[in-house]
């Protein structure tokens, strides 16, 4: 998609705002926001202020309008493509009972799931690989919306990243995305040599809805008794549809992801009558988490999903799973997509990339 002139102008204005001296940025952002013993980062507060001025919203109108809005908005906050990273398009076969023609139509003309393989230039083979599932509430995200996040992780973690275009709701509601995510992981293991990957060091990961899919994929892989991910990277994951958490009330409004947005996503993704405790939907509700691979759970302090993500980390720990929990107390939901503005978001993602590198490092 070509970047329009108005979007270029808005992007330039946003960049200028973040280059202002700190006192001027504070004036523009407003008084510090403090909640639940935390103070919102100035970069995050300024971004929210600019979004409010521009009347930018995560969700607006129909599904089609919201998808178009996200595709446009990404150019304002993600920055220039991170280099040097090579890109190769891949098609992931899926065990799908629908006709080949119907599946092809659903994923943009490809007989399978489109995916992008990101490889840092100079990375030797075989290398660790992250099978990455983008966020967007299972409804509006794409590989394109998370292009720079995938590039960043590839470059700074020193891994290949396979970013997967799983099927979206409401066209394909739950459990379609979970089926696609598991198929993508199994494909990565089976075709590791073709992807330049070490089959023993393949991780699953994602943010928000993608973090949910990564957690579900790890659980299903263990239950199937086949290949299991070497690591889980769960960035502010949704883990429990069956309960309302305190953070959903604390951060219900004005912090990028709102309570209204979450209900909108759930209404499109979850068919009426679905058991909300199904572990494929709510991985926190799984009875047994033992045997799962090591995990890094990353949360944001000012995020309605904060508490359920941290509850999942605690349940993993209780099950004997090696887990690290990192709460960025001063950040908001979606921060891995804001690498083009300010510095705080990049710092947080750089720390995450470092942990991913360590999690996939060779062990004697």
**Residues annotated catalytic, as ranges:** 208, 303, 333
**How many helices (H) does the chain have, and how many strands (E)?**
13, 10
DSSP state of 56: -
DSSP state of 360: T
Q: How far apart are the first and last CA of the chain?
A: 46
* Structure tokens that stand for 12 in this block: 């330039």
Omega of the bond leading into 170 within 30 degrees of 0 (cis) = yes
In angstroms, the CA 303 to CA 252 distance is 8
Contacts of 216 by beta carbon, 8 Å cutoff, 6+ apart: 178, 181, 182, 279, 280, 281, 283
In angstroms, the CA 255 to CA 78 distance is 18
Q: Which residues of 8-46 are buried (b: 16+ CB within 10 A; e: fewer)?
A: eebbeebeebbeeeeeebeebbeeebeeeebebbbbbbb
* Structure tokens that stand for 87 in this block: 């890109």
Asked if 181 and 213 touch (Cβ cutoff 8 Å), the reply is: yes
- The interaxial angle of helices 147-157 and 344-359, nearest 10 deg, is 50
* Structure tokens that stand for 59 in this block: 């969700």
In angstroms, the CA 3 to CA 161 distance is 25
Asked if 165 and 142 touch (Cβ cutoff 8 Å), the reply is: yes
In angstroms, the CA 60 to CA 57 distance is 6
Q: Strands, E, within 134-189: which ranges?
A: 160-164
């Amino acid at each position: 998609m070509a970047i329009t002139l108005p979007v270029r102008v808005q992007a330039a204005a946003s960049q200028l705002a973040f280059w202002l001296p700190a006192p001027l940025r504070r004036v523009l952002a407003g008084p510090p926001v403090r909640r639940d013993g935390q103070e919102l980062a100035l970069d995050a507060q300024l971004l929210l202020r600019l979004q409010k001025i521009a009347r930018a919203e995560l969700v607006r109108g129909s599904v089609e309008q919201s998808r178009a809005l996200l595709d446009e908005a990404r150019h304002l906050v993600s920055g220039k493509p991170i280099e040097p990273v090579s890109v190769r398009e891949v098609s992931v076969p899926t065990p799908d009972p629908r006709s080949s023609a119907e599946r092809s139509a659903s994923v943009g003309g490809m007989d399978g799931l489109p995916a992008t393989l990101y490889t840092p230039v100079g990375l030797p083979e075989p290398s660790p690989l992250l099978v990455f599932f983008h966020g967007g509430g299972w409804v509006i995200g794409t590989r394109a919306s998370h292009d720079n996040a995938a590039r960043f992780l590839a470059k700074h973690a020193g891994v290949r990243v396979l970013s997967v275009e799983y099927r979206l709701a409401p066209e394909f509601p739950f459990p379609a995305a979970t089926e696609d995510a598991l198929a993508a992981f199994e494909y990565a293991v089976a075709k590791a040599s073709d992807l330049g990957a070490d089959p023993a060091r393949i991780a699953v990961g994602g943010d928000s809805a993608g973090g949910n899919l990564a957690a579900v994929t790890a659980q299903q892989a263990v239950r199937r008794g086949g290949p299991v991910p070497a690591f889980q990277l769960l960035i502010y994951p949704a883990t429990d549809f069956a309960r309302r958490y305190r953070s959903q009330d604390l951060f219900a409004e004005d912090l990028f992801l709102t309570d209204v947005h979450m209900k909108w996503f759930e209404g499109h993704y979850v068919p009426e009558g679905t058991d909300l405790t199904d572990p494929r939907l709510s991985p926190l509700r799984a009875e047994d988490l033992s045997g799962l691979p090591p995990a890094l759970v990353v949360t944001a302090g000012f995020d309605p999903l904060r508490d359920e993500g941290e509850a999942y980390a605690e349940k993993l720990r209780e099950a004997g799973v090696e887990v690290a929990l990192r709460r960025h107390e001063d950040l908001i939901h979606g921060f891995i997509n804001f690498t083009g503005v300010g510095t705080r978001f990049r710092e947080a993602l750089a720390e995450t990339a470092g942990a991913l590198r360590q999690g996939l490092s060779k062990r004697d």
